[in-house]
Chain A
Amino acid sequence: MSRLFAVLISTLLALGAGNAFAQAAYVHDMTGTAVATTGTGAGTTQRALKIGDTVETGSTISTGDKSTAVVKFEDGQVMALSEKTSFRIVDYRFNKQRVSDSSAVFTLLQGGLRFISGVIGATNRNSFRMNVGTATIGIRGTDGIVTYDSVAQAIIATVNAGALEMATPQGTQAIGVGTFSSVSQGQGPTVPQPTSQATAAVQQVLNNLAVRAVPINTQIVVRASALAAAAQANATLLAAQAAAQPANTVLQIAAAEAAKQAQDSIAFAIQAGQQAFDTAVREGGAQQPAPAAPPPGPPTGTTGTTSGTTGDTGTTGSTPSGGAGSGGGGSGTTTPPASGS
C-alpha cells in the first residue's frame, strides 16, 4: 500500500516537473477562512483555500476575521499570516540551477505576517524584498514580523533573528534582533527601539505572530509537501470522527488507513525535500537557511532543573521494551566510562 502511494506521488511529481506554471507555495496550516485571488479586472478569480492547496506567483492570499494561515514556499520560505491580512506574491522564482538568480518579491497589502526566509534569502539576501505601503523591506537575516494598517498607513517591523532593513523615500533604518521600527504616513522609519518599549497593543500583535508554530524553513517539493499536509489534515479529521464514534468500524478502518497514508506522504515529502536541496546545493550553489527564532517565553534550554535529573531512584519512568539491557542507568557503583573530568 505504501509503495503504491509512493509510486503515485512520484508520478504526480514527474507530471508536474515540466509545468511552466509550477506552484510557488502551498497552504501548510490554517484556521478559519482564507482565499486566493488571481488575475486582474474582469479576469479576476477567487477560490477558498484549505490546507494542502497550492498557490502561484501573482496570487493574493487574504485571511478572514479570526483566521490565520501558514504558507510555505518551495525554497523553504515561510509566511505566517495573521487575521484580516492580504499578502501578494508579486514575483516568486526559485531557480534551482542558479539559486542566486532567484527572486522573492512580496507585497503586504494589509494586516500582519511573520516571515522566515528560506534558501533564496540564505543564498542571496538581495533577492528577497517585501513592499509595505511606501516602505520596502529587505532581509539581512532570517526571521521578522511586519504589520501594516493600510488606512492609517502605519507600518511596524520587528526582528526575531538576523536583521531587516526598512527603506522609505524619507530614509532607511537597519533593524536588529529584539527591536522594532515604525513608519507613519509620510515619515521615514523611526530609530529602532527595543520591542519591550512598544505599546501593549503592538506587543500583543507581534507576540501572537511569534508564538505560532511554523514548519522548518528548508527546501521542499511543493506538490509533495502539499499532498502530505492535506493527507495529515484528513487523517486528523478522521481520527477525531473515529474517536467520537468508537463503535463505527468503517470509520475506525478509514481513520487508520488515513493515518498510514499521512505517514507515508510525510516521509516522502521529507525525503523529496532533502533530495531537492542536495541537488540545489550541488548544481545551484544553494545555502542552508538559518533556523527560525525560538518562540518567545521562558527558555527551556539550560535551566538545569529538568525533573528527574536528580533521580537514580528508579522511578523516573518505565523502560520501554527493546530498551532494556542497552543501558546501565541506576545507582552507580559501576566503573565510570571514559571521562574528561
Chain B
Amino acid sequence: MRLRPGSPYTWSNIALLKARLPEPDREFESALRNAALLGPWEPAVQVALAQAGFRHWEALAPETRASLVANAGRMLRWQDVKLFELARNSGRLAVVCSLRGVERSPLARACI
C-alpha cells in the first residue's frame, strides 16, 4: 500500500481480502470507499466493490452503501450482466432493482 497508495486496485484488493472476514471492520469500509473514489470507472474495481460490498451489505455504514449504490449505477451501464449475477449470488437483487435506469438492462425483468 505504501508503494501504490493512490491505486484503486490496492484498495479493492484489500476490500476483497477483508470481505472474507466474518465481520467487516473499519478498514474494510475505508478500502471500499477509497477504491470507489480512486477508480470509479475501472471495470475490475467496480466488480470487486460489488463482490465485497454486497457480501457485507447489512453491516455497512450508510455512506459506504451510498458509495456502493453509485458504483452499481456505473456498473449498470457497462457490466449489467456481471452486476445482476453478483447481486443474485449475494441476495442483493433489491439493491440493483432500485437503481435509477435499471429498466434499460435486458436483465431488468428480474426486478418485476
Q: Which of B9, B34, B88, B104 contacts A310 (CB 8 A)?
A: B9
Interchain residue pairs with CB less than 8 A apart (7): A229-B112, A294-B88, A301-B19, A306-B47, A328-B6, A328-B39, A331-B7
Please report the C-alpha to C-alpha distance between residue A301 and residue B56 in the assembled complex, in whole angstroms.
11
Contact with B along A203-226 (1 / 0, CB 8 A): 000000000011110101000110
User: Is A292 interfacial (CB-CB < 8 Å)?
Assistant: yes
Contacts of B13 in A (CB 8 A): 304, 309-310
Complex CA–CA separation, A329 to B11 (angstroms) = 11
B9 adjacent to A340 (CB under 8 Å): no
Q: Is the interface of A mostly helix, strand, loop or mixed?
A: loop
Expressed in whole angstroms, the Cα–Cα distance for A224 and B89 within the complex equals: 27
A320 and B110 within 8 A (CB)? no
| Binary B-proximity of A287-314 (CB < 8 A = 1, otherwise 0) | 0001111110001111110111111100
Shortest distance between the CB of B71 and any CB in chain A (Å): 11
Contact A332 B5 (CB under 8 A): yes
CB-contacts of A267-298 with B (<8 A): 267, 269-270, 273-274, 290-295
Dominant SS among interface residues on chain B: helix
How would residues 1 to 17 of chain B score, 1 for a CB under 8 Å from any chain A CB and 0 otherwise?
A: 10111111110111011
List the 9 closest A-B pairs by CB distance, nearest first.
A308-B44, A332-B6, A329-B39, A291-B91, A334-B6, A340-B30, A336-B5, A323-B41, A332-B7
CB atoms of A317 and B44 under 8 A apart: yes
B27 touches A341 (CB 8 A): yes
- A329:B89 contact, CB within 8 angstroms: no
CB distance from B10 to the nearest CB of A (A): 7
- Report if A339 contacts B (CB, 8 A): yes
A40 at the interface (CB under 8 A from B): no
For the complex, give the distance between the alpha carbons of A320 and B46 in Å: 13
Residues of A within 8 A of B103 (CB): 263-264, 266-267, 270
Q: Does A170 contact B (CB under 8 A)?
A: no
Asked if residues B6 and A333 are in contact (CB atoms below 8 Å), the reply is: yes
A336 and B93 contacting across the interface, CB-CB below 8 Å: no
**A291–B6 CA distance with the chains assembled, in angstroms:** 36
Q: Which A residues are in CB contact (< 8 Å) with B77?
A: 320
* B91 x A294 contact (CB < 8 A): yes
On whether the beta carbons of A326 and B94 are closer than 8 Å, the reply is no
In chain B, what residue has the closest Cβ to A227?
Answer: B112
Per the bound structure, the CA–CA distance linking A199 and B3 in Å amounts to 54
B78: A residues at CB distance < 8 A: 320
Instruction: Check A340 against B26 for contact (C-beta < 8 Å).
Output: yes
